Amino acid sequence: MPNRESIENLIGRYSLGYDTADFDAIGACFSDDAVFRMTLPGNEPVVFDGKEAILSLMKQSAESQTDQRRHVNSNLIVHGTEDGVTRTTHYLTLLATENGEIRVLSAGVYRLEIVGSDDDLRLRTLDLELDRPY
């Protein structure tokens, strides 16, 4: 099982990559066959299949935003590793700063499947269930 510090660093690199529009850093966090599922209240999940589809979503989202996003990750639970896949759950609080004002855009729960070793962990599955649309 990967150590907790490596898992936290992977989650942090992914979030910081998005917040700073560093798409190379984001891409390095995903396996080629990664899947990202985002669920908004009352809706079926929207699925992005493969690293390229996920990066395309991230780029389009970032380009449409006029605020500065900050992803705050907390309450990480590492459920364990089975067959080379580590499963985790953690909270997301999504903040935005614009015109000197900071506001909470949404909150939610990430459920992750992580593959690889401590020195090369990758996100294979991201399930994000948001408490409200942002």
25-79 per-position pLDDT tens digit:
999 999 999 999 999 999 999 999 999 999 999 999 999 999 999 999 999 999 9
Q: Which fold has domain 4-130?
A: Nuclear Transport Factor 2; Chain: A, (3.10.450)
Taking only the tens place, the pLDDT of each residue in 67-95 is 999 999 999 999 999 999 999 999 999 99
Phi and psi based region of residue 35 (left: phi greater than 0; alpha: psi -120 to 50; beta: remaining)? beta
Task: Determine phi and psi for 60, rounding to 5 degrees.
Answer: -60, -40
pTM for this predicted structure: 0.95
3-state helix, strand, coil in the chain (%, to 5): 30, 50, 20
To which H or E segment does residue 45 belong?
Answer: none
